[in-house]
Amino acid sequence: ENGPRLLVVAEQAKIFSHRGGNVTLPCKFYHEHTSAAGSGTHKIRIKWTKLTYDYLKEVDVFVAMGHHRKSYGSYQGRVSLRESSENDASLVITNIKLEDYGRYKCEVIEGLEDDTAVVTLNLEGVVFPYSPRLGRYNLNFHEAQRACAEQDSVMASFDQLYDAWRAGLDWCNAGWLSDGSVQYPITKPREPCGGRNTVPGVRNYGFWDKDKSRYDVFCFTSNFNG
């Protein structure tokens, strides 16, 4: 109550990059009522995690405390702190992968004080619908994931499909998205696609059984040169 309150700020909420590129996710921490970055009584702990679609699980990315540094999973060897100043907690990611797309949380902890900021990493790329040679609606969720991987891509997120719809993607077949929902984008309403009087947009079938339900899939890929 008496000490300066810790504040964590991301100067930009969205950062754009491309596969193979490098990116800095901005994050700085301050204390209210003082210009000092830290009070000096506690070590600062910086933790970066990636948020998942159900918002209950988080994937550990990077932790730093004093001279100790630890990166996790597929981020090992690719993440570090920028540390351009003593209050800079920005995360540098190198050799970006398609799977790096998403929302990241920067958490700064000092004693009993802590605060967070969220930054979204967007990748420039293209969304494309995919159905196997067997014909439409033959993929469960896990097969759809593998099918995208075989096309050098990942399953598209809703935000990526929405952006593709805004750019003109029109597709009548429903497909899996990475959050487990089944959706499809319509720019030109017509009889076979829900009727002529439907409103243009991304139509949502909701969430289906990932093992038993079968649909097509929307995949996302990004060129190495952006």
Q: Is the pLDDT of residue 37 over 80?
A: no
Q: What confidence tens digit (pLDDT) does each residue in 115-158 have?
A: 999 999 999 999 999 998 888 899 999 999 999 999 999 999 99
Beta pairing class for 44-51 and 102-110: antiparallel
The residue type of 4 is P
Q: What confidence tens digit (pLDDT) does each residue in 64-81 have?
A: 998 899 999 999 999 999
Higher pLDDT, 134 or 224: 134
Q: What token pair was written down for 120?
A: 């979204």
Domains along the chain with CATH numbers:
6-31+42-123 (2.60.40.10), 126-221 (3.10.100.10)
pLDDT at residue 198, rounded to an integer: 83
pLDDT at residue 116, rounded to an integer: 96
181: left (phi over 0), alpha (psi -120 to 50) or beta: beta
Give the integer Cα–Cα distance in Å for 15 and 89: 16
Q: Are 22 and 52 in contact (CB under 8 A)?
A: no
Q: What confidence tens digit (pLDDT) does each residue in 161-185 have?
A: 999 999 999 999 999 999 999 999 9
Query: What pairs with residue 118 in β-bridges?
Result: 105
pLDDT at residue 194, rounded to an integer: 81
